[in-house]
Amino acid sequence: MDARINYFGNALAGKVMKHLNSAGAAVQAALPVATQELVKIRASQINGCGFCTDMHTKDAAAAGEDQQRLNLVAVWREATVFSDAERAALAVTEEGTRIADASGGVSDEVWAEAAKHYDEDQLAALISLIAVINAYNRINVINQQPAGGYKPGMFG
C-alpha cells in the first residue's frame, strides 16, 4: 500500500505539519508522557489511523510504557491497569474524538471527572492534544498513509 501523496516530502504539507508539531509541542510539559501517549493511541484507534496507532504505541513502549497497558487501551473501561486520572483523560478523548456521534460533545459528567484530576492548564493541554491528534489522524487516514514502518525518533 502506498500513500496517495508523499505528504512528508511535499512543501505545503511540510508547512502544515510544522504548525501541528508546534501545537503538539506546546502541551508536552503540562501532562504526563504516559497520559499523552494513551490519549494519542485511543484517538488513533477510534479514527482508524494505523499510522498514528503504530507510531504512538511504539513511542510509548520506547518511553517505558508497559505492554499490557498498551494492549488494553482499546478496552480501558474494563481494564484495571489505568489510574483514575488516565481513565478520565481517556473518557474525554473518546467523547472529544466522537463529536459527530455524541449529540453534545464531551458530557458535563465526563468533564467534571477530568476536572477532579487535572488543573486548568492541564485541561487546556488535554483539549489541545485531542484536537492535534485528531488532525494528524485525519491527514493520515485521508492520505492512506501506510502503517508498520515507524521507528521511534524517526521524525526527530
Model pLDDT, residue 8: 84
CATH architecture of 11-142: Up-down Bundle (1.20)
Does residue 6 register a pLDDT over 80? yes
In this prediction the pTM is 0.95
The mean predicted confidence, pLDDT, of the chain is 95
Q: What letter does residue 20 receive in the DSSP assignment?
A: H
Binned at pLDDT 50, 70 and 90, residue 1 comes out as confident
pLDDT at 152 over 90: yes
Q: Does pLDDT of 12 surpass 90?
A: yes
Q: Where residue 104 falls among pLDDT bands split at 50, 70, 90?
A: confident
